[in-house]
Structure 1
Amino acid sequence: MQTIFALATARGKSGVAVLRISGPDAHAVAERLAGELPGPGRHALRRLRDRSGAVLDEALVLRFDAPHSFTGEDTVELQVHGSLAVIRALERAIAETGLARMAEPGEFTRRALLNGNLDLAQVEGLSDLIAAETELQRQQAQGLLTGRMREFADKCRADLLRAAALIEATIDFADEEVPVDVSPEVGTLIGRVLSAIEHELKGFAGAERLRHGFEVAIIGEPNVGKSTLLNRIAGREIAITSEIAGTTRDVIEVRVDLDGLPVTFLDTAGLRDSDDAVERIGIARARDRALAADLRVLLVDGDDGGAGFDPRVEIDLRYMAKADLTGQGVSGLTGQGVDRLLAEVSAALSERVSDLPVASHERHRQALVTSHAALMQALGAFGDDRAGAEIVALHLRDGARALDSLIGRMDVEAVLGEIFSQFCIGK
């Protein structure tokens, strides 16, 4: 492989920036700039110079020898001052050595995968960790990154291999009497894997929503206080408020960290019949977003508020509005009742992520569904006297292959491009 380099930290002014060099000539490239390198796994302060000998910066140089690096290759990291001019000068000096090229998006992580330092699910976990905004998202990403998917796949695979071995023993000794009836153990092994897969699939929707974030729609009649409530939740004026009904025409969003949950609150147009063409578009969008939201909060101004709403819009939480005037419910103006509202929203959403599986990507779900279908066929064939043991073994192998795809044990080239396109250049 060619030696590659890239800025591993965000581009822009900062106290420290990290340039990463990885590949067979990584040490040679670094020596051109820094002179003698520290020993393997060590670090040292060095002056970096270009090919003319001019000093570019003073850097902390870290050396990693293969396979003891993130990529599994010889690697050097240069911690330099985070000046745009310094970074540009160093990138130019590295390129001028002729020994390294600029890395492509996700190329460092791709090499870690190819060199066996990470499996495919860990790569996805790393991407999720970089994108994590809340504590629960961080925990979810760490589960993938630390190998929980591999543990799941390995455990299921071991059971299926044992079941397949028992089944194939009956094939190998078809002309002889097998001394032990393998049926009970085979049935138990397949059932155990099916239960594990079903647990993952059952909690998948909540896990996926946690990764992407939940949506909570604030709905109600015009001028009931939806925008004022959104501004209170956001802690700043992001929605226009006025006494004129129908002020909100489009869906306004604010994303918050709610007890570790990534939640986007939606301020929607007031639901009513209107002759205004633009307002009607806003009302249609409000209904569509409310239908698609994970939770709907209805604000009402009176006991009969909400009557006549679209019956498809299921109300999850209902509050009296303008508590600053009535003394009951919530008030975005004064903040009365808002903490209670947020706590109830948090509790309702937390129930959906109370027992999270490790599977959180659509690719995971598809592999699990494929494996489940194959194992159900195996179980059906196993209980059918007309089906041969070869058919059962075939379905077991199909189920195991689908589980292997979770961590990249089989050819998954088709999905690599999409996964690595999400990474930044220096990762």
Structure 2
Amino acid sequence: MNQNDTIVALATASGAGAIAVIRLSGTDAITIAEDCFRSVSKAKKLSKQKTHTIHLGHIVDDTREIDEVLVSVFKNPNSYTGEDVVEVSCHGSHYIQQQIIQLFLRNGCRMADAGEFTLRAFLNGKLDLSQAEAVADLIASDNEASHQIAMQQMRGGFSSEIAKLREELLNFASLIELELDFAEEDVEFADRTQFRELVERITFVLKRLIDSFAVGNVIKNGIPVAIVGEPNVGKSTLLNALLNEERAIVSEIAGTTRDTIEDEISIGGMGFRFIDTAGIRETQDVVESIGIKKTFEKIEQAQVVIYLFDAEQFQVQSSKFKVELEKIKNKYPLKPLLVIANKIDKVDDILLAQMQTEIPEIQLLSAKSGFGVEQLTDSLLGLVNTGALRNNETIITNTRHYDALLKALEEIQKVKYGLDSGLPSDLMAIDIREALYQFGLITGNVTNDELLGNIFANFCIGK
């Protein structure tokens, strides 16, 4: 990895827009930009300007003027990457963007790899590894909850907690290692009582962080909600009512069956991913049986199930509705289930009372008029464990961190067993080293090119 060259990339989204930002970082960033920049103040040189300053002028290729721009100068080490950084704000024409980037390439820059600006920030100590990963999560956040988690991690909430535990464990590890040097004297430098207290505290923190992953993962990726119901029971109307406007977001989701459509909306700052499925009934039809099988597959993937039916049909189809409900309850007894009767504005009070008697947990809804929508959103939010989010506790959303925490907990439990069993220091030292290694993988104290490559390959170019 060559970190001595100067890289360039488009920092804003590709395509035409009002403004585009082109970023350079590296030893020669300011010099290269200066050679292509003509200030409105003819004598102004970028290399002579103070850091964190903005300058108006033109990007020129010899005598050809490409665009009028604003150039921002950030001098090392006070920049995002810790290197000299220049950001050129130009007009958002795709042609202008490419002309300026190609000009910088001809003058000594190299196109940045995916995430290379953030990678350099990590290598230069501006961010630890978990904070660097949070940058990608922040860019990808599409609701309030995922944004809040990413911001918390970028501020170092998670990494500082891990770093503190690692430092305390490292101090005891040093004393344990020292005991090995004096094995013949049979002395103990590490206070076993204090060490046991530390191990208990680390175990508690690790278990809390590991448990938070279940919540963090669904917040980051959207909480999957399977809607089970016949066609024309009002699923689209319901989604638009939840959005409070006629614009349900519909998209083909990779990895689902070809004809599966999912709708994504945000409720109370939480992302919910609604999965439309067919009804569940007894059938001899082969094609219909396949559809019912897929319905159960989608329920399996969901965290919450909504059973939606047309209140007008309850009089003649109540037996079928009850059979379908029992099948879901029996197959998924631990999965939250909301039973919704839609179109209640079209039935009389007698039928409403009958439905509430026969299905006590039923919620009444008129997606068209909006009646019952607020109760439904409250129910959905109530099913999500957001206590940690409200209390500003650390929530894990990254699978790599989750895996490292599981392995660290396993090693810490071995250390605890060693303390309780009176194992010799040399055996405990092995488990302590492995726990420290797993902590280091999270914060970046332990890295290799393969690990960094896997992480930053998922970043966008220019970040």
Question: What TM-score does the superposition give when structure 1 sets the normalisation length?
Answer: 0.90
- 1:233 aligned onto 2:242: yes
Instruction: Give 2:322's aligned residue.
Output: 306
Residue type of the alignment partner of 1:210: I
Residue type of the alignment partner of 2:344: A
Task: Map 1:140-159 onto structure 2 (within 5 A).
Answer: 140-159=149-168
Instruction: Give 1:396's aligned residue.
Output: 432
Cα deviation for residue 388 of structure 1 reads: 1.1
Cα deviation for residue 17 of structure 1 reads: 1.0
Query: Residue 359 of structure 1: which of 381, 392, 396 is its match?
Result: 396
- 1:316 aligned onto 2:352: no
- Relative distance call for 1:333 and 1:274 in structure 2 (3 A) is farther
> How many angstroms apart in 1 are the aligned matches of 2:115 and 2:174?
39
Task: Map 1:110-149 onto structure 2 (within 5 A).
Answer: 110-149=119-158
Q: Secondary structure at the match of 1:56?
A: strand
Residue type of the alignment partner of 2:343: K
Cα deviation for residue 265 of structure 1 reads: 1.4
> How many angstroms apart in 1 are the aligned matches of 2:162 and 2:106?
46
> How many angstroms apart in 2 are the aligned matches of 1:239 and 1:420?
29
Instruction: Give 2:220's aligned residue.
Output: 211
Residue type of the alignment partner of 1:162: N
Q: Secondary structure at the match of 2:66?
A: strand
Instruction: Give 2:379's aligned residue.
Output: 344
Preserved CA contact (<8 Å) 1:136 1:261 = yes
Preserved CA contact (<8 Å) 1:298 1:315 = no
- 1:335 aligned onto 2:377: no
Q: Secondary structure at the match of 2:266?
A: strand
Cα deviation for residue 221 of structure 1 reads: 4.6
Q: Secondary structure at the match of 1:43?
A: strand
- 1:94 aligned onto 2:95: no
Query: Residue 48 of structure 1: which of 31, 54, 59 is its match?
Result: 59
> How many angstroms apart in 2 are the aligned matches of 1:265 and 1:58?
47
- 1:5 aligned onto 2:8: yes
Residue type of the alignment partner of 1:74: D
Which stretches in structure 1 are left out of the alignment for 5+ residues?
Answer: 241-248
> How many angstroms apart in 2 are the aligned matches of 1:358 and 1:336?
35
- Relative distance call for 1:25 and 1:351 in structure 2 (3 A) is closer
Preserved CA contact (<8 Å) 1:47 1:56 = yes
Instruction: Give 1:243's aligned residue.
Output: none
Q: Secondary structure at the match of 1:57?
A: strand
The alignment's C-alpha RMSD in Å is 2.5
Instruction: Give 2:408's aligned residue.
Output: 371
> How many angstroms apart in 2 are the aligned matches of 1:70 and 1:39?
16
Query: Residue 195 of structure 1: which of 191, 200, 204 is its match?
Result: 204
- Relative distance call for 1:2 and 1:179 in structure 2 (3 A) is closer
Q: Secondary structure at the match of 2:215?
A: helix
* Deviates further, 228-237 or 30-39: 228-237
- 1:59 aligned onto 2:76: no
Residue type of the alignment partner of 1:24: T
Cα deviation for residue 123 of structure 1 reads: 1.2
- 1:294 aligned onto 2:340: no
Query: Residue 39 of structure 1: which of 37, 40, 50 is its match?
Result: 50
> How many angstroms apart in 2 are the aligned matches of 1:211 and 1:201?
15
* Deviates further, 275-284 or 146-155: 275-284
Instruction: Give 2:455's aligned residue.
Output: 419
Task: Please give the per-residue CA displacement for 1:91-146, whole angstroms capped at 9, x wherever unaligned.
Answer: 2222222x112212111111112222111101110000000111111110012111
* Deviates further, 155-164 or 401-410: 155-164
Query: Residue 278 of structure 2: which of 264, 269, 272 is its match?
Result: 269
- Relative distance call for 1:315 and 1:347 in structure 2 (3 A) is closer
Task: Please give the per-residue CA displacement for 1:1-47, whole angstroms capped at 9, x wherever unaligned.
Answer: 22111110012222211111111221121011114213322221112
Cα deviation for residue 293 of structure 1 reads: 0.3
Residue type of the alignment partner of 2:372: G
Cα deviation for residue 165 of structure 1 reads: 3.5
Cα deviation for residue 204 of structure 1 reads: 1.2
Residue type of the alignment partner of 2:57: R
Residue type of the alignment partner of 1:14: G
Residue type of the alignment partner of 2:12: T
Preserved CA contact (<8 Å) 1:378 1:396 = yes
Q: Percent identity?
A: 33
> How many angstroms apart in 2 are the aligned matches of 1:164 and 1:101?
44
- Relative distance call for 1:82 and 1:284 in structure 2 (3 A) is same
Q: What is the count of residue pairs matched by the alignment?
A: 416
Question: What TM-score does the superposition give when structure 2 sets the normalisation length?
Answer: 0.83
Preserved CA contact (<8 Å) 1:43 1:60 = yes
Cα deviation for residue 412 of structure 1 reads: 3.7
Residue type of the alignment partner of 1:343: D
Preserved CA contact (<8 Å) 2:305 2:336 = yes
Preserved CA contact (<8 Å) 2:145 2:269 = yes
Query: Residue 79 of structure 1: which of 89, 93, 117 is its match?
Result: 89
Preserved CA contact (<8 Å) 2:249 2:263 = no
- Relative distance call for 1:41 and 1:226 in structure 2 (3 A) is closer
- 1:160 aligned onto 2:169: yes
Preserved CA contact (<8 Å) 1:166 1:182 = no
Preserved CA contact (<8 Å) 1:105 1:420 = yes
Task: Map 1:273-288 onto structure 2 (within 5 A).
Answer: 273-274=282-283, 276-288=285-297
Cα deviation for residue 362 of structure 1 reads: 1.0
Task: Please give the per-residue CA displacement for 1:344-396, whole angstroms capped at 9, x wherever unaligned.
Answer: 111212447556534221111111111111111111112223x2111112211
Q: Secondary structure at the match of 1:306?
A: helix
> How many angstroms apart in 2 are the aligned matches of 1:324 and 1:79?
56
